[in-house]
Amino acid sequence: MKYITRNHKRLRIRGIEIAILAVIINIFFLPAYTPFEWSGNNTFTVFLNGVNVGMTATQEEVGDILKEARRKIAAASPELVFIDAEITIEGSEVLWGKVDDPAMVLNNMVDVLFDSRHQTMHRSYTVKINEFMVNLASKEEVLTLLRAAINQYDAEKKYDVELSLDAERELSVLTSEVLAKEEIKATEAEVVSTSAGIDLLVEEIFASVEPAVEKDFEDYDNGLIYINFGDTVEVVEAYLSKDELTDIDTAIAEITKEEEKSEIYEVVEGDTLSAISLKTNIPMEKIIEMNETLEDEKSIIRIGDGLVITVPEPEITIERQEERYIEEDYEEEIIYIDNDEWYTNQTKTLQEPSAGHRKVVALTSYRNNKEVSREIIKEEITYEAVPKIVERGTKIPPIYLKPLMGGRLSSGFGKRSAPTRGASTYHRGVDWATPVGTAITSSAAGTVAKAGWGSGYGYVVYVNHADGRQTRYAHLSKILVSTGQTVSQGQKIALSGNTGISSGPHLHFEILIGGSQVNPLKYLD
């Protein structure tokens, strides 16, 4: 009996030893279990976008696993992918806590991230030209777009577009350059002269003493010799979604279509409305319509005047130069002889012109379809042109003032409907409604050419001025000057009235240049 009891005690002690040994083995040889430590949370349940992806032993390894999961997603696609990734960690303190294999947590994270993709950003290129921008899917599409712009003017396809990195910019910005295809091939082949030593020296000596030989007409290139973009073209790499990209055909249509843009044309010496119409390729009627200061094709324009013109222009400007052989009639420039005794509006033609004929090679510069300059680089005269010689005045003409104080403008210059019976449907002056007896003054200094009754004008005064112009004052009630009398600017010459063919008390006022009435409102100061 004592033996059994003693053996039982021995078995209990051996059982306790075995249990302790098992704990030690678990602690040191089974890392999947976290030892209990009285130091706070020792297991961490990880949630990614609300999904449980596993349990880790430390918070620090969660970030490392997430980075690796992102890397795997990025490596699976050549494009930039936007993914929501919200990590939540719940810590707990346990005596025995089983954590998950990091590889399993990683795979779970990859699955969740893959399901959380909401937008794929494609490597793209943004083309900026002034205020115009378009997004394209590839660099090749950028080149296709820019080639389409120059190919409008390069029918023989002699030129091509290259993109290069702008070294002066902090960001990666590509700029464009148009080069002749032959030049590109030569650069790519890196053609280097094999001349060296004494041979190179001899070549340089002969090149320096070789006399220049004048080109004949057939020695010149006939056609396009230069083309480039007139605007700065910037190309920036970007990551964009598919709905932000423009297909290449639409982009080409947008960049090459012409839209009307307003410009100001400054009148230069020798200009007329018809000449400006030819220069700008805009119908004269449209130029008159766009400018309130112009009444009709006979309207006077002066050097320095600014006229509004609307011209069609594409989003990108193409500058080019062309050499052309031309046989043409030509005119010499007008020769002016100044006369200090005349006013600037007084001219006299001393010699009528006649056209000559010549053969030329012309270098013409264009902006899109608009000719901006022309230089004759070779000329052969068949027969000489005769220039026009004009004598012109240099004195500034007098200023014209409104001939009355107040008054309401009741009828303008030009066509009118339903005039007073007996009056013309084309009004050759302007009317100011004013009470009978209003003082009428001379618009400028001059000599009275007529003072009396003028049929439909009623009582009327004509005044001739030193610059060759004439003013007329009609429908007067009383005349205060006589024919041949000299009057000063602002001098009272009559009183307003309602005589002749008149619809009521008013002053009818005219200005005549070269014997023809013009709109007085354009000449009054």
Nearest C-alpha neighbor of 153 from the set 369, 315, 375 = 369
In this model, does residue 511 exceed pLDDT 60?
yes
Q: Please, are residues 493 and 479 in contact by the beta-carbon 8 Å criterion? A: yes
Answer whether 0.75 is exceeded by the pTM.
Answer: no
How confident is the model at residue 338, as a pLDDT?
Answer: 94
Give the pLDDT of residue 36.
44
- Give pLDDT, residue 309: 82
Report the C-alpha gap between 444 and 448 in whole angstroms. Answer: 11
> Beta-strand (E) ranges in 270-331?
306-313, 318-330
Is the pLDDT at 199 greater than 90? The verdict is: no
What tokens does 483 get?
Answer: 């024919």
316-375 pLDDT, tens digit per residue, is 899 999 999 989 898 999 999 999 988 887 889 999 999 999 999 999 999 988 888 989
Of the two residues 109 and 3, the one the predictor is more confident about is: 109
Work out the mean pLDDT of the chain and round it to a whole number: 83
For 413-429, what is each residue's pLDDT tens digit?
888 765 666 567 788 89
Partners of 365 in the β-ladder: 321, 373
For position 492, what pLDDT does the model report? 97
Chain centre to alpha carbon of residue 34:
70
CA distances from 170 to 139, 165, 282 (A): 20, 11, 44
Express as a percent the part of the chain with pLDDT over 70.
82
Tell me the pLDDT band of 110, cut-offs 50, 70 and 90.
Answer: confident
Residue 170 has pLDDT above 60, yes or no: no
Half-sphere exposure of 66 (CA within 13 A, CB side): 18
Neighbours of 346 (CB within 10 A): 19
Q: State the pLDDT at residue 289.
A: 86
Give the three-class secondary structure for 13: helix
Q: Per-residue confidence at 104, pLDDT binned at 50, 70, 90?
A: very high
CA–CA separation, 326 and 59 (whole Å): 84
Residue 207, pLDDT > 60, answer no
Give yes or no for a contact between 83 and 117, defined as CB atoms under 8 angstroms apart: yes
Q: Are 497 and 476 in contact (CB under 8 A)?
A: yes
Q: What is the model's pLDDT at position 371?
A: 85
Opening angle at CA 219, ends 218 and 225, nearest 5? 105
Question: What amino acid occupies position 281?
Answer: N
pLDDT at 130 over 90: no
For the chain, what percent of residues have pLDDT higher than 90? 38
Binned at pLDDT 50, 70 and 90, residue 173 comes out as confident
Kindly indicate the confidence band of residue 6, based on its pLDDT and cuts at 50, 70 and 90: low
pLDDT of 8 > 50? The answer is: yes
Question: Tens of pLDDT along 363-391?
Answer: 999 998 888 898 999 999 999 999 999 99
pLDDT of residue 240: 83
- Rounded-to-integer distance, Cα 127 and Cα 26, Å: 65
Sequential DSSP letters for 72-100? HHHHT-SSEEEE---EEEEEE--SSEEPP
| pLDDT value of residue 13 | 62
The DSSP result for 111-123, as a single string, is HHHHHTEEEEEEE
Task: For residue 85, give both structure tokens.
Answer: 């990734």
The alpha-helical segments, DSSP class H, found in 257-408 are 273-280, 284-290
The distance of Cα 116 from the centroid of its chain, to the nearest Å, equals 43
User: What is the distance, to the nearest Å, from the Cα of residue 114 to the centroid of all Cα atoms in its chain?
Assistant: 45
Q: How far is CA 388 from the centre of its chain?
A: 40
Q: In this structure, are residues 368 and 318 in contact, taking their beta carbons and an 8 Å threshold?
A: yes
d(CA 307, CA 284): 12
Locate 187 and state its tokens: 């650069």
What is residue 250's predicted lDDT score, i.e. its pLDDT?
93
pLDDT tens figures, 21-67: 555 555 444 444 444 444 577 888 999 888 999 999 888 889 889 88
Q: Is the pLDDT of residue 122 over 80?
A: no
Q: Write out pLDDT tens, residues 421-471.
A: 656 778 889 999 999 999 999 999 999 999 999 888 999 999 999 888 999
Q: Does the pLDDT of residue 290 top 80, yes or no?
A: yes
